[in-house]
Structure formats: structure tokens, C-alpha cells
Structure 1
Amino acid sequence: MTVIVGASAAGLACAEALRRKGYTGPLTLVGAESHLPYDRPPLSKQVLSGDWEPARARLRSAEALSALDATLVLGDPAVHLDVPERAVHTASGRILKADNIVLATGLRPLTLAGQPTLRTVDDALTLRKRLLGCTNAVVVGDGVLGAEIAATARRMGVAVTLAGPQSAPMALQLGPRVASELASLHAAQGVSLRLGAAVTEVSEDGVLLETGEVLPADVVVVAFGSAPATDWLQDSGLTLGNGIVCDSRLRAAEGIYACGDVARWHHETLGRMVRLENRTNATEQGIAVAANILGADEAFLPVPYFWTDQFSAKIHVHGFVSPDATVVEGSASEGRFVVRYHRDGAVTGVLGWNMPKQARQHRAEISLRCPAGVAASTPGAA
């Protein structure tokens, strides 16, 4: 029997890969939410904007899930893991014993003074209602999620201010050169930018910055970070540290694996521990765990990749960013370009701004053996 804790992208990818590769044993997916498995990237864009009904974000139809021949335990979060017994205990009192356990519990958002966050489909629907009825919204957080929420809210006609400590939106994920272009795009679309200063307080008057400026707000959205959802594993005996610590095979202990945002594993090519927070990695890791459960014994060696859509920009990033960036195709003035990131003469990453095909073509130039700076999609890199 295999039990997968986490019924989102990584967990579902693992379950499907197990069946596809010939696994015939009992299979159980445990999910904290009552919803059928759904995709998270559309929440800050299509679902929040109202372009999609929530059902459209589902990863699979009910019929496809039925064909998977897996038991879905939804709305019943895992609360304890007994590693020696390989048993998952849930909030309702279930005890699920298995030969293999896969941990794919993802992230929990950091919160601020009870203000709304956006992690679940219910969060997206609640936030949409609040945005539609507000005059001024402040998004606290200048990373991927904060920038996407600000762009979506602005498209909804809301007056939006984006606040955060970085010099430009997504500077950590894009590097200073491209992040400045993103800042210009947001400003041109009417987003008010208050960047380079930390938020110190949220009150009835609005959002207080460390500069002393107060940003008036009917709605404050918190999007300044998240943490691996490992609280329930504190007494498990597993090694925890910025995620579930795994070997290069994504194995946390004998018969225990992790995948998705919660997994921190040894990347043999990079020679260090890495944790990736992105949709592509969740799927790829789920598939890799399934293969190793079935005896593949293969190291997981991805080139990081993520994308984001904001206003007219579709941005695709492969590999790792660095301060040294060169435009190798197109131009910012055209609104279409490819940037190559490099360090010590080696290419560490590439980015496409409305040029996804061309960015993929340059991906082959990336050398992961070069000492890299910040991973483009690795908040948990270390």
C-alpha cells in the first residue's frame, strides 16, 4: 500500500505516475481540503479575476480520478506520522499504514494581523468578493504571488498599491534588470509602487511603512512569504530544516519520500540542498518519487523552471538568475526579449519575456555546475 499525504499537484502527479508505471497496490491520497485536487497557479489570476469558475482549476475530472483507482481522503488533514510503523494519523482518527508514504503537504502562508492571504481556492473566492467591494487595496509582498495579485486586482479596476522591501517586484526571482522592467509595466498599468521599505504595522488607518508613510487601504492582502507545511511532523523523527530533508532520491527515511514545495533534497549536480517552490517542480518530483518507489534509484536533477503572467507579460525562467544579465534576443522596447544570466563565464539561466519558445531553445546553454547565485524559483535554496 502507498499513502500520499497531500492531494494537490505533487501528490496527484505521484499517484498517476505510480499507476502509469504499473503499480497495482492500494493507493490513498490524503488532503487537508475538502475540494477535489485543483491547480494553484490560476488562483491568483484566472480565479481571482473571475475569468474562470473554480471548477475549471481542477486538475482532473471526477471520472479521471475514479479511473485512478485510489481512495481519496479529503477534508481530513494528517496530524502525525509514525515513521517506524509507517503510519499516517489524521485529524478524524484514521490510521493509515503503508509500505511507502509520500509527503506532499506543500506550504502554509505567512500571515499578518489576521489579514487575508491567498493559498486555497476558498481564499481566492473570499478575496475576490472583498476586492470587488473596496476602494483601495494594498498588497504586502513583492514576490511572485504579490505581483500577480496586484496585477489581477488592477485588471479588476481596483486601486492597488504594491508594498515590499525589494527595489522592484520579483527582484529576487528575476534579477534587477528584468525586475525594473516589471516595475515599469506595473506602474504603466496604474499600480502604485511603494518598494524598498518594509511594512511595520497594519491598522484601521492602513499600512504603515518603516519610512513612516501610511498607505490607506480598505483591503490588505498578505503575500510576503510562506513556509513548508511541516508542523505536523515535528515529533516524527524526520530531519526537518526549511522543509523535509531528503537524499538525492527524494527519500526522507526508509519507505518515506517527499515531493513538491515541502521537499528539500540534495541536488547532486549543484552539490547542495535545494527546495523549489513552483508548479513544474511539483509535477516532476511527484513523477520522480513514483519511479524511485518502484525501484528506479535515480537522483532528481532538474533545471529549475517557473513562469508568471502579469498584464501583457508572460515571463518564463529557466535555471538560476544572477546580477549579470544580457539581452540576447529582442528588446525591452519591443516588449519581447530573452535574457541570458551568467557568472564566471558560464550561463546560469535564461528568461523569456513574451518569448517562451526562444527561452526554451537557450535552456540547453545552462550549466548547473557553475556556482550560481539565487535560484530563479528556489526560495528554499541553501
Structure 2
Amino acid sequence: MTRRTRRVEGTMIVQRRAVTAAVAVATLLLTAGCSSGDEAGGAPEGSTSPARTAAQSQPSGASAGPTPPAKGSVEVVRTVAEGLDSPWGLAALPDGGLLVASRDEGTVTRVDTGTGRKTELGEVPGVAPEGEGGLLGLALSPDYASDHMVYAYFTSASDNRVVRMLYDAKKPAGEQLGAPDTVFRGIPKGFVHNGGRIAFGPDGMLYAGTGESGEEGLSQDRESLGGKILRMTPEGEPAPGNPFPGSAVYSYGHRNVQGLAWDAKQRLFAAEFGQDTWDEVNAIEPGGNYGWPEAEGTSGSSAYVDPIAQWSTDEASPSGIAYAEGSLWMAGLRGERLWRVPLDGTETSADPQPFLEGDHGRLRTVLAAGGDKLWLVTSETDGRGSPADGDDRILELEVR
């Protein structure tokens, strides 16, 4: 049962079926020239089949073995917490709690997943929220058990940067975050396209998805940190084995990366916003060029790595992704649904499937919770939604 009738840019969202390639081409020709508000939307209402293409991605340390069979559906088990303000980043604590970042307030809050109780750890100094910028991604140190460090990606007055802070739960609420230690700085900032997702990979390195801050040319400039996936040590140095010596750049030609996840074979996948036509999920190759702004979606050119799946922008506008039970799970903002992308190696084994369409509004972040469980964060209070009582929420999902 849907929570309420959902509308985006005045158009009712309805379930759509896949159409043929010929109809998709005709639709694109008719709608050419329409511009996107990125997270707010892109192409007019329409339907296309998510495309499937081959791509290769084998980061160092990838393990052998068969890909586990993918389970086929997802259901909401319960509401974990509600009343969150512009939630964005999410990190799971070893004791079962969750840390959630408020983009606009610049605060980090601990959520007790059993009771839903919220405790504000503190405000991150230096956060300058504006547009799509603010306090964004969160990640725990690989050595969190001993160092209790929380990493955060945020927009400052001058750039986007990554910091780390000591979390001391013994201190009073509101004073539990230590002073931020800047790990990495100089990522271009803008009113839009700030990227913001960070995650530690299976190799212990810190990965960051960045945006081109509205300046398209930065994506193809390997000297710029905008429109990239970055790979660095926990101290912020370019990681050993990066494709470009002395650089943190791991892949380039991206528009706005807000989703990072690894599969059971330790292969990296990323979700990013398109402009007018295609949103993408990509299998990431070290040194790969993903085409923006020269290509959006599948290009067929040997110069660029094609996505493994793509959607019209009104169906997705993707932010977070997670891997569980043989599939990637992708949160859609304008699309207001959770996409399942079943994997077979670095290709999709079947067409992506939508779930929860319109049930909970805009969806920002999805995080693997272990086994067949996922955490899902809604995004109705980010200035582009239609918040109702209780928004925003963290939901617990079960993959079946």
C-alpha cells in the first residue's frame, strides 16, 4: 500500500513496461533538448528498457569462485527511525547502531536500530551547505575497532573534502565528535554535482565519488579531481597501484557519482546521474574513461567504457547502491523506487527490476546490513521532495 500519491514535476508516476528499441529512439528524438535538474529530474515522462552491455572490472585483490545466485525481490520489514532532516550518508557501527549525516544541518546522529532512538554526536565544523552540497558521505575506518575514526565527505566554503573525526561515545551527546582532521581536499565544489559517496574497499583503501560541479570539461581532465572516482590511502595519499602515478584518480569521465559498492568477487560498481537521457550503473576499471560529457549512456565507442545498465532519468536519478544476495540495489531519487540489478560477473544476468515504486518517496542511500538485509534512507526533506509527517526515514528491508 502506497504511503501517498506521488507526483514529480506535475506528472503522476505510474508503472511502466519495457518498450522496444525503436520506440526508445523515437522518444529520445522527440524529447531532445530538454534539460535536467540532475537530482530533480531529467528527461520527460517516458519508458525505456534498461540496457545491458559487457564491461570488465577487476580491481586488485579480486577473488575467484562462482557468482552466488541472485534473490529476486525485496520487502520493507519495518521503519527503523523517522524524523530525520536531509539524511545523506549512512554507516553501520559494529554494535548494530547506525550513523547518519544530515546534509543541511551538518550533523552526525547515531540511531539505535532496536529502539529508533536518535542521539546527535555533534556538528561537523566547516560544512557549508548549499544546493546539493553539505555533509554528504560517511564511512568508518578499516581499523574502527581500535581507532574509532569516522570519515566524512563534505562541502566547505572553498571545496569538497574528506575529513576524519574521533567518535567518543562516552562524552555527552552533542560533544562526541572530535575535531576534524582533513585527509583530502581540493575536490571542485558547485551548487550541483558534488558527488559525495565515500567507502572503504576490500583492499583497505578509501574510494570517493566526485562530481564535475557543473563544469563538464573537468570530467575528461585527468589533472582535475572533479567527475572522478578517487582511490586513496586512509591518510589521503594516492593509493599504491593507482593507474596514474602520483594521482588519486582511479577512473574518470563521470558526471556525478553518488553510489559505490563491491560485489562478492570484490569488483567495484558505481552509480551516476545522467543529464537528459541516461542514468548509469558502471563496472569500474582502473584508468577507465566513462565518457562524460562526450557520451551519456551506451556509446559503443572503444574510447569509453559502456554502462552495464542504464535508465531514463525520470525512472532513476540514482544515488546510493549496495550489493546483497547476488544483485546490486540502487536507490532512485526522482524515480522514487529501488532498482534490483542482478549480476553475472561484470554484466547483468537479467533486466533490472523496480521495487517500492512511489511507496516512500525519494530514495537516497541503501546500505548492506549483512545477509539478506538492507538499510534504506529516504530523501523527502532535501528541498526537492514533498515531506509528510515522519519524513525522513530509515527502513529495514529483506531480500527474498
**Structure having greater relative contact order (Cα 8 Å, sep ≥ 6):** 2
* Common fold by TM > 0.5: no
TM bucket normalised to smaller: under 0.3
TM-score by length of 2: 0.24
Bigger radius of gyration: 1
Which has a greater percent of helix?
1
TM-score by length of 1: 0.25
